[in-house]
Amino acid sequence: MPRSAKWSLNTLVEMLNHSRKQADTASGFLIVLNPSFPSSAYFHVPFCQHRCGYCDFTLVAQKDHLIEAYLDAMAKQMSELGEGIELKTLFLGGGTPTHLSIEQLSHLFESIFSHFRLAADYEFSIEANPLNLTCEKIEFLKQSGVNRVSLGVQSFDSEILTFLERDHQPDQIFEIVKSLQSRISNTSLDLIFAVPGQSLAGWKQTLQDAVQLNIPHISTYGLTIEKGTSFWSREKAGLFDLPQDDLAGDMYEYALEFLDQAGLQHYEISNFARPGYECRHNEVYWTGYPYSGFGPGAASYLDGIRRQNHRSVITWLKRVQAGESPIVDQEELEPEARAREAIIFGLRRRAGINRREFQERYGFDLHQLAETAIRTNLEAGLLEQTDTHLKLTSAGCLLADSIVVDFL
């Protein structure tokens, strides 16, 4: 099985390079000038106390002197927006957004809500590190409208946490989660499996600990070793080995079975939720609807054009401060490329792809567009189809990364 069933936007863009049409990036803040502004927005907060060895996200560690400049640049990047733009979903990711102080978060929220307002039935998510969540900060987040917190727990095993270079311990997780849920009940935990030194029994215990907290949403990711990370260098030097694929597969399959029995439905390859607690913001990505992105490394998708801000925090800052576009890359997808991308994202969702809706929306018959890929994976037992939908089987979820390549 692949080391992770999580597909990043950057990975997808790389896979679709053959269909890329470069667009002019010299026109500044294109995304904020479009009158049909998306109802979902992502804000990237690129600060952490420490960069974990497996992390290749856009962030800087031990660079808190840049926070004030970042906050000013975020306000400037939004300066050409109008007022009262309604958002159904708002997501602050990182990095670690809760690394910011209450005063700094207040500054960021003030900039955001100078231009945006939350819809009546909104989802406002923020990613958090357990040790950043003091009672005061949790109360501040609640009063600011945050109604969903994604907590980077990763494990309930102290040895695994140490290997992953996390700064918290299991006993702290229990205390913090209980405090958080007393104020913001919609809480999600991120958990990592297939970690060197991790046993199946240890993974089972981590899942049991998570479920005992009555968490309504859990995300599980197989550890991936990305080039450029310290884990990459350590693995290449032979300092550790990843678990065998069979063990990683057993861990994933156990999560599918155990979390389902615990009432958390498998609604996306890496995500499980109690009914009504699915991440609505991520559903926007997976269903191909438009969204806007602010901050270093953030992506936007509007009118069939995908834009990516520069990943370097310093370069992003300099460009915004100079009044230049922070966009480093743009692509306008041709109709067929959009349809194929929709297949890739659609297969992430356990509900799969509604064939009639797919044709109405993208103008292609699903089977005519990808006849060989569908037939091959149906025969292999990796896809299944109903009268209305095409979706991955449980076995297909284990091999998702390799299956989607067939649809390019």
pLDDT digits (tens, 9 = 90+) for 291-346: 999 999 999 999 889 999 999 999 999 999 999 999 999 999 899 999 999 999 99
Largest CA distance in the chain: 57
Smallest CA-to-CA distance from 7 within 350, 267, 311, 348 is with 348
Hey, what are 249's tokens?
Answer: 């597969």
What is the model's pTM?
0.89
Average pLDDT across the chain, whole number: 90
Q: Does the structure show a pLDDT above 70 at 55?
A: yes
Q: Does the structure show a pLDDT above 70 at 159?
A: yes
Q: Does the structure show a pLDDT above 60 at 237?
A: yes
Hey, what are 35's tokens?
Answer: 């009158």
Written as one letter, the residue type at 7 is W
Backbone phi, psi, residue 166, to 5°: -85, 155
The domain ranges of the chain are: 9-286, 336-408
**Strand-pair category, 271-273 with 217-222:** antiparallel
Strand partners, 260: none
Smallest CA-to-CA distance from 188 within 156, 154, 144 is with 154
Residue 382 near residue 392, CB atoms below 8 Å? yes
Task: Name the residue with tokens 């955001």.
Answer: 112
Report the C-alpha gap between 365 and 359 in whole angstroms.
5
State the alpha helices, DSSP H only, in 114-244.
Answer: 135-143, 158-163, 170-181, 200-212, 230-236
Cα-Cα-Cα-Cα dihedral of 258, 260, 263, 269, to 10°? Answer: 110
DSSP 71: H
Average pLDDT over every residue of 380-384: 96
Strands (DSSP E) found in 171-289: 187-193, 217-222, 265-268, 271-273
CATH topology of domain 9-286: pyruvate-formate lyase- activating enzyme (3.80.30)
pLDDT band at 371 (very low <50, low <70, confident <90, very high): very high
Taken in order 253, 220, 284, 25, the sign of the CA dihedral is negative
Return the SS3 of 80: coil
Smallest CA-to-CA distance from 391 within 403, 383, 402 is with 383
Written as one letter, the residue type at 25 is T
pLDDT band at 36 (very low <50, low <70, confident <90, very high): low
How far out from the chain centre does Cα 226 lie? 16
Pick among 3.30.70.20, 1.10.10.920, 2.60.410.10, 1.25.40.10: CATH of 336-408? 1.10.10.920
Hey, what are 347's tokens?
Answer: 């297969």
Crossing angle, helix 200-212 and helix 245-261, to 10 degrees?
Answer: 20
pLDDT band at 150 (very low <50, low <70, confident <90, very high): very high
Return the SS3 of 203: helix
Return the SS3 of 400: helix
Report the C-alpha gap between 106 and 94 in whole angstroms.
17
* Span 2-31, pLDDT tens digits: 333 333 444 443 433 323 222 322 223 333
Return the SS3 of 191: strand
Report the C-alpha gap between 112 and 351 in whole angstroms.
34
pLDDT band at 112 (very low <50, low <70, confident <90, very high): very high
Cβ neighbours, 10 Å, residue 282:
22
Report the C-alpha gap between 4 and 226 in whole angstroms.
11
Same CATH topology for 9-286 and 336-408? no
Give me the pLDDT at residue 303, please: 86
